[in-house]
Homo-oligomer: A and B are copies of this chain.
Amino acid sequence: MILPQHEQCSCRCIHQDRIDNAHEQALASKENEQLAALFKAMGDPNRLRLLWALKDEEMCVCDLARFLGVTESAVSHQLRLLRQLHLVANRREGPVLYYRLDDAHVGELIHLALEHLREDK
- Secondary structure of the A side of the interface? helix
Complex partner residue of A103 from B26, B53, B105, B120, CB under 8 angstroms: B120
Residue pair A14, B69 in contact (C-beta under 8 Å): no
Q: How large is the interface on A (under 10, 10 to 19, 20 to 34, 35 or more residues)?
A: 35 or more
- List A residues 55-85 near B (Cβ within 8 Å): 55-57, 59-60, 62-63, 66-67, 69-70
Which of A39, A105, A119 has most B Cβ within 10 Å?
Answer: A39
- Copies of this subunit: 2
- A53–B38 contact, CB under 8 A? no
- Measuring CB to CB, which residues of chain A are less than 8 angstroms from any residue of chain B? 1-3, 8, 12-15, 18-19, 21-23, 25-27, 31-45, 47-49, 52-53, 55-57, 59-60, 62-63, 66-67, 69-70, 86, 96, 102-103, 105-106, 108-110, 112-117, 119-121
